[in-house]
Amino acid sequence: MKTSEAQRKTAEEKISRQETADAIKTPEQLLSIMKASAMGDMCFAHMLSYLKIGMTEKQAADEIERFLLGLGAERLAFPTIVVSGERSNLMHGEPTDKAIEAGDFVTLDFGGVVDGFCGDMTRTVAMGKVSDYQRDVYQVVLTAQRAALAACKAGVRCIDVDRAARQVIAAAGLEEAFCHGTGHSVGREVHEEPRINKTNEDGVLEEYMAVTIEPGVYLPRQFGVRIEDLAIITKFGTINTVTAPKELIIL
C-alpha cells in the first residue's frame, strides 16, 4: 500500500513538472501567441463597427469566426461565445438566434490559433444605452481585472492573483456572482495549467508563462460582465498581448 502511494505521488510530481515545463513558453511560442492576440484585437475592432441592434448572437459569432479565419488563423481556439442581455450571465453560453437589443450587454469571448498556439480574449460591450447599475458593475469588473493583472509577476502564487480580483468584487458586494477562477495558462490548448483560482495554493507564476486574467460578474435574470486579457509573465510584471480598449463601450 505504501509503495503504491509512493508511486502515485511520484507520477503526480512528474506530471506537475511536465505541466510547468509546458507552461513556460519559448520566445517563438510567445511570438505565436502574440500574433494570435493581434488577430483578436483586429477582430474586436471590426466587431465594434459590425455589431448592430437587431442582429442575432449567431450572426455576430459567425462574423467573428469568418474574420479570424480570414486573417489566417489555422482554426478557432475554442467555440466562440456571444451572449447578450440576460444571457450574458452565462459564462460559457453558446450563441443563439436571440436578437441583440437596446440596453443589452454583449459578451464576446473568442480566439484564433497561430502556429498551433491559442489566442483568448473577452470584451463586454453595451448596445445603445446602459443603466447606472450596469455601468457600476462593469467598473467593478474592470477594476478587479486591472488589480489581478497588477498582481501578476514571476514568483507570485496563483491564489494571490485570484485574491486580488476577488477582493475588489467582494468589496462591491458581488462575491457570490464571481463563480469561476480568475484565469489560466494558455498554449497549444486554450485551458492549461496552472489555473489561477482560489484553490490553487501550490501554483506559482513563472517567467514566460502566458496566462489569461478574466474575472467576471454574473447576475441571473439580469446580465453578466467579463473582461479578459492574455498576458506574458515576466520578472517585473506582465506584457499584455491584448491591446483592445477595456473602458465601457456603448455602441
Tens-place pLDDT, residues 140-181: 999 999 999 999 999 999 999 999 999 999 999 999 999 999
Question: Which residues lie below 8 Å from residue 227, measured CB to CB, with a gap of 6+?
Answer: 122, 123, 124, 141, 142, 145, 214, 215, 216, 246
Domain total for the chain?
1
Position 12 pLDDT exceeds 90:
no
13 in helix, strand or coil? helix
Note whether residue 251 is domain-resident.
no
Return the pLDDT at 22.
84
Note whether residue 246 is domain-resident.
no
Position 211 pLDDT exceeds 60:
yes
Question: Which residues lie below 8 Å from residue 223, measured CB to CB, with a gap of 6+?
Answer: 85, 86, 88, 89, 104, 105, 134, 137
Note whether residue 248 is domain-resident.
no
Q: pLDDT tens digit string along 240-250?
A: 999 999 999 99
Return the pLDDT at 18.
47
Position 237 pLDDT exceeds 70:
yes
Phi, psi of 103 (to 5 degrees): 90, -5
Predicted TM-score (pTM) of this structure: 0.91
Q: Could you tell me the residue range of the domain that residue 133 belongs to?
A: 2-240
Position 10 pLDDT exceeds 60:
no
Q: Which three cell numbers stand for residue 48?
A: 465594434
What is the amino acid identity at position 156?
V
- Tell me the mean pLDDT in the region 74-91: 97
Return the pLDDT at 7.
43
The CATH number that applies at residue 175 is: 3.90.230.10
- The H or E element spanning position 216 is strand 216-219
What is the amino acid identity at position 205?
L
Burial class (CB in 10 A: 0-12, 13-18, 19+), 132: exposed
